[in-house]
Structure formats: C-alpha cells, structure tokens
C-alpha cells in the first residue's frame, strides 16, 4: 500500500514517516509541501522522496494521504485527495472553522473515500485500559471529568500555531479537541453546553492569541467536565506537553496521565531533566488503524465526524469566552 504525506507544516509529519515505514506492506510513496525549501530539507533529512507540488504526489497513485498542513489549509488538500479517490488521515483540528470542518466531512462522503481524524490519544494504552473498564461496568456510572491539556508555547516547533488565521485560535484550539474527543468516546454522549474563559497571562509579549483557558462542559447525559487548556509549560520542560484527567465515577475516581510512560533522566551536563519515553507508541497504533481501515474497506475507529464534533465544541468555547455566556450546542 502506498501512502503519501501532504505538507510538513505540522511537526507530527516527521514522526509519521518512521511510523509508516514500521508498518508491514506499506510504502511511503513521497511527501509534498507548498514550502519547497522546508519540504526538500525535511524530506532529505528523512530519506523521503520530495515532490514540489501536491499534484505530482497524487500522480504516484497513493491509496492514502496524511494531511499535515496548517489547520486553515486542511480543506483544499482534503478536496484534492478526495477528488482523486484517495483515503485521508487529517491532522487535528479538522479545520479552523465549523463550515470548513463540515465541508471536509462532506467532500469525503461524496467521493466515497475514508476520512479519519488524527486523534492519537484514542490509541493510548492507559486511556484504552480505562475505556475497557468503563465498558465492562467495573467503574459504574461516570459523574465528572477534571481534565488538563497543557503544553509549551508551540512556536518552538512551528510559528503558525500562534497565527489566528492559520491555526484558528490559540491554546483552546490547540488543546480542546483532544479532550472533547476522549470525553465523547468514553461517554457515548454529545456536549450540550459550554462555558469558557480565556486569558493572555502566559507569553503576553510574544503572541496575540489566548495562551490559557478554562472550559466547563455539560454533556447530554448530565456528566459535567472541566478542561484546563493552556500553553503554560516553560521551554525547558522535559516534553512538549501532556494530557491528564481525573474521572469521577460511582465506584471512585481514576487519575489518568497519557504521557506517564517515561523515565526521568537527570543530566548534570545539560543542567536539567529529560524524559525518556518507554511506553506504547500511540501514533504508531493510529497509523496502523488507518492502514487497516483502508485495507479492510471499513470505517476507521476515529472518523471525520468525530473531528467535526470536536471542532464544534471548541468553537462554542470561543463564542462563550467572547460573550461571557453559556453556549448551547
């Protein structure tokens, strides 16, 4: 199976190259980028074939494409892939606007191609363990979530993450979608209303978008949740970020840390600690699921609609932060 990558704008694209090469029977047919200097440099660094335009990559007749462009540029690349009959794995968030997110889903449905949203946390071993215990009834009824998705200022990786037009927002857009997807997955219920507030306390002199936020979500089944979505970690933090939540149930609470599978290594030479990751590779599992869904001609475990719903709640949080009111979905 031939799979290509469209754009190196998102820093996950580089890791996906190794993930694809680790899947038996999969060939990375090439990468394309509208920034030729960036594309050629990163392709050479990873030993990948580089195409200066997306049409040339499509001419290699891939069965799947991973779209890693800026959030606002997902739709045109999805349209290109879908019109060529190619299955799509699209980075999160699915789009920067609700209209574009809906269009991403619609264009793939009309073309009859598979659309998967890149939500790697769905494939995290700790999170899947808790989901299995929920489904088995071991934990009983869920009452609430208290969740965090905190990271460092992402300009360290790519400058566009703090561009409100290309990214669609700041820390809320970057972090909310992961946790909303997890909550929908765990609960089997949709969000009913959102209240949110944002601030610019962190990195106030560096960027114009919000760098911190707190969201309160009530789901249709009555479960309520809080999300701390912020770029609050210092640049010397051992990793780029993290995702945690406390799940309060009738049989007690469960504390989940999606990035706890690591060893802290203290270096006197470096003058700080680093994390050496030993755990399961959620990106590898996510790409393996995409390949399996294409091979088996079935819906993937995470769909385009899942990505659409996460964008919908995130944009409702922005509206709430603007108006100071609860927003109903």
Same domain, 65 and 130: no
Same domain, 150 and 169: yes
The model's pLDDT over 289-326, given as tens digits with 9 standing for 90+, comes to 999 999 999 999 999 999 999 999 999 999 999 999 99
Same domain, 49 and 143: no
Same domain, 291 and 224: no
Which string of DSSP letters, residue by residue, matches 61-100?
--SEEEE-S-GGGHHHHHHHHHHTT-EEEEPSSS-SSHHH
Same domain, 186 and 320: yes
Q: What is the CATH number of the domain that holds 125?
A: 3.30.360.10
Environment class of residue 238 by beta-carbon count within 10 Å: exposed (0-12), middle (13-18) or buried (19+)? middle
Same domain, 168 and 53: no
Tokens representing 247? 């799940």
pTM: 0.95
Residues 6+ apart with CB under 8 A from 269: none
Same domain, 57 and 96: yes
Same domain, 106 and 14: yes
Predicted pLDDT at 82? 98
Q: How far apart are CA 217 and CA 195, in angstroms?
A: 7
Total domains in the chain come to 2
Predicted pLDDT at 259? 82
pLDDT in tens, the chain (329 residues): 999 999 999 989 999 999 999 999 999 999 999 999 999 999 999 999 999 899 999 999 999 999 999 999 999 999 999 999 999 999 999 999 999 999 999 999 999 999 999 999 999 999 999 999 999 999 999 999 999 999 999 998 899 999 999 999 999 999 999 999 999 999 999 999 999 999 999 999 999 999 999 999 999 999 999 999 999 988 877 776 789 999 999 999 999 998 888 788 877 776 677 778 787 899 999 999 999 999 999 999 999 999 999 999 999 999 999 999 999 99
Q: How far apart are CA 65 and CA 113, in angstroms?
A: 11
Predicted pLDDT at 236? 79
Predicted pLDDT at 263? 85
Q: How far apart are CA 316 and CA 319, in angstroms?
A: 5
What residues make up the domain containing 154?
Answer: 121-279+310-328
Nearest to 278 by CA among 294, 292, 262: 262
Q: What is the CATH number of the domain that holds 89?
A: 3.40.50.720
Same domain, 90 and 104: yes
Same domain, 164 and 177: yes
Q: How far apart are CA 168 and CA 93, in angstroms?
A: 9
Same domain, 127 and 107: no
Same domain, 185 and 111: no
Q: Where are the beta strands (DSSP E) in the chain?
A: 2-6, 27-32, 50-51, 64-67, 87-90, 115-117, 142-152, 191-199, 212-219, 224-233, 241-249, 252-257, 262-267, 272-277, 327-328
Predicted pLDDT at 268? 75
């Amino acid at each position: 199976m031939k799979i290509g990558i469209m754009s190196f704008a998102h820093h996950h694209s580089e890791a996906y190259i190794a993930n694809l090469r680790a899947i038996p029977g999969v060939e990375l047919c090439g990468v394309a980028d509208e920034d030729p200097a960036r594309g050629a440099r990163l392709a050479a660094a990873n030993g990948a074939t580089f195409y200066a335009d997306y049409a040339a990559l499509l001419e290699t007749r891939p069965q799947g494409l991973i779209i890693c462009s800026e959030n606002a540029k997902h739709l045109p690349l999805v349209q290109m892939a879908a019109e060529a009959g190619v299955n799509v794995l699209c980075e999160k968030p699915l789009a920067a606007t609700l209209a574009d997110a809906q269009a991403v889903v619609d264009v793939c449905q009309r073309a009859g191609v598979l659309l998967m949203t890149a939500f790697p946390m769905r494939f995290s071993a700790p999170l899947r363990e808790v989901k299995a215990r929920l489904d088995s009834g071991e934990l009983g009824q869920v009452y609430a979530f208290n969740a965090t998705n905190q990271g460092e200022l992402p300009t360290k990786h790519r400058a566009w993450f703090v561009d409100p037009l290309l990214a669609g927002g700041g820390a809320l857009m970057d972090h909310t979608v992961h946790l909303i997807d997890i909550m929908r997955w765990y609960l089997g219920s949709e969000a009913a209303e959102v209240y949110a507030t944002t601030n610019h306390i962190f990195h106030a002199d560096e960027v114009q978008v919000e760098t911190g936020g707190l969201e309160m979500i009530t789901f249709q089944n009555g479960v309520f949740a809080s999300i701390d979505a912020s770029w609050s970690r210092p640049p010397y933090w051992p990793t780029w970020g993290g995702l945690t939540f406390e799940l309060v149930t009738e049989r007690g609470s469960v504390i989940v840390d999606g990035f706890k599978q690591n060893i802290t290594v203290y270096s006197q030479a470096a003058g700080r600690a680093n994390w050496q990751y030993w755990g399961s590779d959620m990106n590898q599992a996510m790409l393996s699921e995409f390949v399996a869904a294409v091979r088996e001609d079935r819906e993937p475990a995470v769909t385009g609609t899942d990505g659409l719903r996460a964008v919908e709640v995130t944009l409702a949080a922005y509206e709430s932060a603007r108006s100071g009111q609860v927003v109903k979905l």
